[in-house]
Amino acid sequence: MERTENELAREIVDASYKVHSTLGPGLLESVYETILCHELQKRGLRVARQVPLPVIYENLSFDEGYRADLIVDGKVIVELKSVETIAPVHKKQLLTYLRLAGVRLGLLINFGEALIKHGITRVVNGLPE
């Protein structure tokens, strides 16, 4: 069954709650990435990790080091952080990734927050709300 971006987002948020409540805040981003990927795959989702996002200019592709942490079912980019506070640049970074990948929805998830609900931000790129 093909899921919409919003259905996937609900599943990703639910999995993030589970991971955060089990592990708590303050671990390395790479740990959360590995465990969240595992949790999403257990739920039957296709998850790609550290996906290169090339910049296209004049029909040429330049791989300049942009990488999406997770892309779920090819429809939602998940950018993970484990920081004290999300900065505006983190949201801009995710929006850039959405544009480069041609994806309409991204979730910025900060596992550094004491309560994960305060650490989840939706970023859209042309997706109706």
- Ordered by where they begin, the domains of the chain are 5-124 (3.40.1350)
The continuous run of DSSP H or E covering 81 comes out as strand 76-81
Query: What are the tens digits of pLDDT across the range 66-88?
Result: 899 999 999 999 999 999 989 99
Q: What is the pLDDT of residues 8-40, one digit of tens each?
A: 999 999 999 999 999 999 899 999 999 999 999
Task: Summarize the confidence of residues 78-102 as an average pLDDT.
Answer: 93
36, 80 Cβ separation under 8 angstroms: yes
| Residue partners of 5: CB distance under 8 A and separation at least 6 | 75, 76, 104, 105, 127
State the pLDDT at residue 57.
Answer: 82
